Amino acid sequence: MKRGLIIVISGPAGSGKGTVVKALREKMPTLGISVSATTRNPRPGEVEGVHYFFITKEEFERRIASGEILEHTYYCDNYYGTPKSELERITAEGKDIIFEIEVNGAIQVKKLFPEAVAIMLLPPSAKLLESRLRGRGTETEEVIKQRLRRARDELKLLHHYDYLVVNGENMVDDCVELIKDIITSEHSRTSRMTDFAEKFFEDNN
Amino acid sequence: MKRGLIIVISGPAGSGKGTVVKALREKMPTLGISVSATTRNPRPGEVEGVHYFFITKEEFERRIASGEILEHTYYCDNYYGTPKSELERITAEGKDIIFEIEVNGAIQVKKLFPEAVAIMLLPPSAKLLESRLRGRGTETEEVIKQRLRRARDELKLLHHYDYLVVNGENMVDDCVELIKDIITSEHSRTSRMTDFAEKFFEDNN
């Protein structure tokens, strides 16, 4: 079976990546869904390996150190993260998987999975990025400036990415269509079609 | 202005590349059209640089030797070919250009223009390729065998290509859609978006 794709969507705060990934998931119901690992206790009805993999803090930290956790966050005194094995399981089933991840995390995924497709999402200009951050009305001036500085640094890492998708105002649907086109065409890359090529002459020998 | 793409579509005899490229041109009226060079005499009403570039045989052969002619054929005692300068002109205008070209010619174009997008078209299997060649009813058994041997050699060159598109029976429209997706997504490659990235912070400095 042909392996699924690992698609990494990243971009600075204000790029709209959360909205785009949510819309993408709705439009592509065949996407694989990875089960996260967590250190919090299971709630009633939660099933190991279905809702989460429940592990101890010590085990979680060991897995971070050994590279078994692809990316993680620490929230309310507990770890949440994506096991590398989940990506291998899902793509081996022939399903594509999409990750929304911050810029440095995305580069990390590309190192672990060089065949991953990394997409950077950006608004049409830094001016618009700034006005989106201000429009939220939730961040202080200092935080906004800090995020803009960070976006500037993040843009310097663009060459690690395969694609740059521009997310204009009210253009979420166009972004989603473009990313769908990218996914479709990436499946036809010659590097992913070696099985087909090998089998092509099989019945003719 | 952002440069247009050079798209090279290739594949063995029987892959259906002629039909696919014709349908693609109809669906993408904004594609650039290159003016060919020829050694035949102008017919009444034909304008130099509009219908053809009319040049002498000596000049044509000199241009082949110097690499100024990208690909050419010899037909009824005259040369017909694509000047390299035409590709540069059209892509500089921001227009994409599509070439249908045989496998070795396509590899030649990739050498001259490494940024070109090379697409190999194949039927689903060699068996089907064979039955398509037989279905034409125009080739002798010897020619069909020769073409299949050639297809086998051509498939060994697949790694020079960026994409492999499978052209199933009655699937021309799907092929065209897939190639359109490839063209759309190739425009968003980070390597082609450096201008955008450079201008991103321009008004914010």
Question: What is the residue-wise DSSP string for B106-175?
Answer: HHHHHHH-TT-EEEEEE-S-HHHHHHHHHHH--S-HHHHHHHHHHHHHHHTTGGG-SEEEE--TT-HHHH
Location of each CATH 3.40.50.300 domain in chain B: 1-32+96-192
Cβ of A188 within 8 Å of Cβ of B152? The answer is no
Q: Of the candidates A127, A182, A201, which has its C-beta nearest B126's C-beta?
A: A201
Strands B37-38 and B78-83: antiparallel
Preferred mutation among A188, A189, A192, A195 to probe B, highest tally of B CBs within 10 A: A188
ipTM: 0.86
Q: Print burial letters for B147-169: b (CB count within 10 Å at least 16), e (below 16).
A: bbeebeebbeebebbbbbbbbee
- For CATH 3.30.63.10, the residue range(s) in chain B are 33-92
A contact test, residue of B162, B179, B190 with most A CBs within 10 A: B190
| Most confident option among A55-59, A165-169, B42-46, B140-144 | A55-59
Report whether B118 contacts B159 (CB < 8 A): no
pLDDT band at A178 (very low <50, low <70, confident <90, very high): very high
Higher confidence at residue A75 or residue A162?
A162
Q: Which residue has the tokens 């005692």?
A: B77
CA distance A36 to A123: 30
Residues of B in contact with A196 (CB under 8 A): 122, 164, 166
CATH 3.40.50.300-classified regions of chain A: 1-32+96-205
Q: Which residues pair with B81 in a beta bridge?
A: B37, B72
Q: List the single residue in B166, B188, B204 with the smallest CB-CB distance to A127.
A: B204
Position A90 confidence tier, pLDDT thresholds 50, 70, 90: very high
Contact A203 B130 (CB under 8 A): no
Chain B's closest residue to A187, CA to CA, is: B163
Number of neighbours of residue A95 by Cβ within 10 angstroms: 15
Under 8 Å CB-to-CB from A83, ≥6 apart: which residues?
A34, A35, A36, A37, A53, A63, A68, A69, A70
CA distances from A108 to A62, A82, B184 (A): 18, 13, 27
What pLDDT digit, counting tens, does each position of B15-49 carry? Answer: 988 899 999 999 998 998 889 999 999 999 999 99
Q: Give the distance from residue B188's alpha carbon to the nearest chain A alpha carbon, in angstroms.
A: 5
> Between chains, do B197 and A164 touch, taking CB under 8 Å as contact?
yes
State the span(s) of chain A assigned CATH 3.30.63.10.
Answer: 34-92
What is residue A41's DSSP assignment? P
Q: Which position has the token pair 């053809």?
A: B52
Q: Which residues of A touch B196 (CB under 8 A)?
A: 122, 164, 166
The pTM score is 0.88
* Contact at CB, A200 and B122, closer than 8 angstroms: yes
Q: Do A188 and B196 touch (CB under 8 A)?
A: no
Q: Could A189 and B162 be called an inter-chain contact, meaning their C-beta atoms sit closer than 8 Å?
A: yes
What is the pLDDT confidence band of residue B204, given thresholds at 50, 70 and 90?
Answer: low
**Which CATH class, in words, describes the domain spanning A34-92?**
alpha beta
| Fold for the domain defined by B1-32+96-192 | Rossmann fold (3.40.50)
* pLDDT, tens digit (0-9, with 9 covering 90-100), for A124-173: 999 999 988 888 777 788 888 988 998 999 999 999 999 999 999 889 99
Length of chain A: 205
Phi (first) and psi of residue A143, to 5 degrees: -65, -40
User: What does the pLDDT look like over B126-136, one tens digit per residue?
Assistant: 999 998 888 87
CATH class of A1-32+96-205: alpha beta
- Average of per-residue pLDDT values in chain B: 91
User: So what CATH class is B33-92?
Assistant: alpha beta
Distance from CA of A56 to the nearest CA of B (A): 41
Tokens of residue B12, six digits: 């063995």
| Number of CB atoms found within 10 A of residue A38's CB | 20
| pLDDT band at residue A18 under the 50/70/90 scheme | confident
pLDDT at B203 over 70: no
